[in-house]
């Protein structure tokens, strides 16, 4: 696997030469996780998908699994998705592409997530099916944040 690092807009980007994207799904609703896994299983650009039902579980997973992309819910028991994003922003020099997927589309949440480094902010009820095309575009551009 070869890597070329670049700094764009203050973020470290990794231009990948791999066979596919590694995705981490984080949502407390098992049905949403199942639907996302099913949806992503049809996306040829995705080589591996893991899931967590809490932000705490996802942070623990990051020790051994470095996803290219994270799909993250905002409201979860325990640590919120926004708090997890805040910890990622503070603790990681290089982070995955972050897609916030939520039912809470309040503009304040969107602004906070984007300020903390989220790359996309999607409405679960309206934008759910956009995720495969976003992943395809990321892989086409061969641009991910690790």
Domains and CATH numbers, the chain: 19-144 (3.40.50.2300)
Residue 37, pLDDT score: 96
Q: What mean pLDDT is predicted for residues 56-60? A: 94
> Given a cut of 60, is residue 143 above it in pLDDT?
no
Pairing mode, strands 120-123 and 11-16 = unpaired
Would residue 46 be called left, alpha or beta, if left means φ above 0 and alpha means ψ between -120 and 50 degrees?
A: beta
Q: What mean pLDDT is predicted for residues 52-79? A: 93
Distance CA 54, CA 58 (A): 6
Which is more confident, 33 or 66? 33
For residue 64, the SS3 value is coil
* Backbone Cα Rg of the chain: 14
Residue 1, pLDDT score: 32
Distance spanning both ends of the chain, measured CA to CA: 14
């Amino acid at each position: 696997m070869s890597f070329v690092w670049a700094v764009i807009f203050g973020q470290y980007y990794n231009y990948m030469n791999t066979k596919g994207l590694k995705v981490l799904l984080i949502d407390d609703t098992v049905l949403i996780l199942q639907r996302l896994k099913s949806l992503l299983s049809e996306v040829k650009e995705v080589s591996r998908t893991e899931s967590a039902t809490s932000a705490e579980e996802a942070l623990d997973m990051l020790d051994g699994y470095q996803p290219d992309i994270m799909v993250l819910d905002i409201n979860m028991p325990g640590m919120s998705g926004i708090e997890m994003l805040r910890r990622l922003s503070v603790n990681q020099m290089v982070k995955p592409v972050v897609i916030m997927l939520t039912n809470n589309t309040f503009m304040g949440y969107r602004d906070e997530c984007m300020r903390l480094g989220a790359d996309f902010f999607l409405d679960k009820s309206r934008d759910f099916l956009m995720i495969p095309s976003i992943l395809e575009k990321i892989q086409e551009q061969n641009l991910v944040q690790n």
